[in-house]
Each structure stands twice: as structure tokens, then as C-alpha cells.
Amino acid sequence: MNAAASADLTPFYEPCADEATVFESAWKNRLPLLIKGPTGCGKTRFVAHMAAKLGLPLFTVACHDDLTAADLVGRHLIGDGQTVWCDGPLTRAVRAGGICYLDEVVEARKDTTVVLHPLADDRRLLPIDRTGELLAAPPSFMLVVSYNPGYQNLLKGMKPSTRQRFVSLRFDFPTAEREAAILRRETGCDADLARRLAGIAAALRQLRDHDLEEVASTRLLVYAALLVGDGMDPVLACRSAIVESLTDDPEVAEALMEVVSATF
Ligand code: ADP
């Protein structure tokens, strides 16, 4: 594949600061990376962009509270009366020398630490207890994890012994101009709609007294722009794509809608 063709396949990512430099330098130095930031602010897109830019295969795992070490490493499966070993995504990433991205890593079961620690420090080893294998990660392998500090509670925080194995990047929502640029590029919407939606998001993120679990993410703005692009009235698009996704409380929803009505 020539350079121009491979550049086309790189997912679009609008940079914020020097996150790409930190990522690339961590990768070159065989260091794992931790990305923290609110949901929908571009963490996953950034990792996909960097994987394509570096020409590395990407293995993404959305972690949840039932995810065990075996889900990451692999397990024996029974089929046709035979037992066959099946690599999990972490093992596949190590064997392929790619990037393993564990999204919302603090959600995973604690037994995952046993496999992540030796991979995340200078040993770069993956022990596969069930097969007796000990895999040494090739130089191009990189472990990337993310979490949203806002979801954290005392039980689910990341342990310092884990956190201190990673180079860390903090992500936040983009500035209004950058967010408008993302919306234009992602959805093809016009500059005026992009500016208004970014303004609504900025205003909603200022509302602290409404007890919202989450503020409006760039992802929700992308949805709203797509609905408007399909011909939907912007107020209805904002209600459906932004406001109703943020709250179940009708009164809070009406308060958020005031911000929308003031814009359109
Ligand atoms: P996170 O992983 O932080 O929850 P994502 O990376 O999935 O969030 O971002 C959600 C969506 O927002 C993406 O699919 C993309 O459309 C858009 N987005 C957010 N930030 C950026 C950015 N910096 N560049 C390009 N798209 C972005």
C-alpha cells in the first residue's frame, strides 16, 4: 500500500496539544500509556489514529465488571470433542506486536492486574498459566489503557501500583473552536451549525447545579449534527441526541432545553 493510500485509512483525529508526540515517544521507548478523561472526548479515536499512523494492528477491549484475566489472555474451548486453545485479544496483540487498548480498564475484575503488571513494566512478559507459555512482548507491542476519573469511586479507583507503571495523558473536552472543527470534519456540517452546537455544549458543561452524571460529549454533538444533516429540526435533534441522553429527569431536561432554545 502506498503512503497516500495508507494516509487515507488513518481515522481523522483533531489534535489538542502534544498528545501524539507523547504517544509516539512512549511507543518508541516501549512504555505503556494511560489516557484519562471524560467519556466521548476522543480517547478511542486518538488510539485508532495513532495505531494507523504507526502502522500497527489494534486490539480494542471495552472493559466491563465481569471481564476476567481469561477474557484477555484466552481460554480452552471445547468443540467436536476436542479442546482447543483460543488466544484472547491481549495475547493476540502481544503475538502480533500491535497495540492492545483496554477502554475503561478500572471496570475489569481485579485478577486482570496479574497479567497486566508484568506486561506494563520493563519485563514486558505475558504469562499464560493455562498453557504454560511465557510470551515476551516484541518491541512494537504497546499496552494502552483508558479510564474516566469521573466514574471512579473508592472501590473502582486505579491502584497506585498499577498507575505508576504507565506514562499518563489527561484528555478533556475540546475548546469551542476545536470542537466545531471536529464536527465539520466528522459530519460535513456547515460552519454555522458547528459553531452553534459547540456553543450549546460549552454552555451545558457550565451547568453544575443540575446533578448530571455526565456532561455533553463531543460524540453527542456529532449525533446531533448528523440528525440535522438528515433534515431534522435542530431543536428536536438537540433534544434527541443531546438532552435526552444526558438525563432521565423531565425537569432537568427542560432546563437543558432552555440552553438549546436560546441558540436555535
Ligand atoms: P472516548 O473514547 O473518549 O469515550 P471517542 O474517541 O469514542 O471517545 O470519541 C467519540 C466521538 O467523538 C468520535 O467517534 C468522534 O466522532 C468524536 N471526536 C471526539 N474528539 C475527537 C477528535 N479530537 N478528533 C476527531 N473526532 C473526535
Cβ–ligand 1 distance for 186 under 6 Å, the answer yes
Mean of the pLDDT values across residues 218-236? 98
Ligand 1 pocket check for 201: Cβ under 6 Å: no
d(CA 149, CA 123): 28
Residues sharing a CB contact under 8 Å with residue 35, sequence separation 6 or more, in sequence order: 43, 46, 47, 144, 145, 146, 168, 169, 171
ipTM of the complex: 0.99
What is the Å distance from ligand 1's center to 245 Cα? Answer: 17
How confident is the model at residue 4, as a pLDDT? 44
Q: How far apart are CA 122 and CA 119, in angstroms?
A: 8
- 235 pLDDT band (50/70/90 cuts)? very high
Secondary structure (DSSP) of 169-226: EE--PPPHHHHHHHHHHHH---HHHHHHHHHHHHHHHH--TT--SSPPPHHHHHHHHH
12 close to ligand 1 (CB < 6 Angstrom): yes
Phi, psi at 263, each rounded to 5°: -100, -35
What's the 46 CA to ligand 1 centre distance in angstroms?
7
Q: Is 13 in the pocket of ligand 1 (CB under 6 A)?
A: yes
Digit-coded pLDDT (tens) for 61-97: 999 999 999 999 999 998 888 999 999 999 999 999 9
- Please tell me the distance from the alpha carbon of residue 215 to that of residue 206, in angstroms, as a whole number: 9
Q: Is 40 in the pocket of ligand 1 (CB under 6 A)?
A: yes
For residue 157, what pLDDT is reported? 73
Question: Looking up cell 507459555, which residue turns up?
Answer: 133
| pLDDT computed for residue 150 by the predictor | 76
In ligand 1, the atom with minimum distance to the C-alpha of 37 is 3
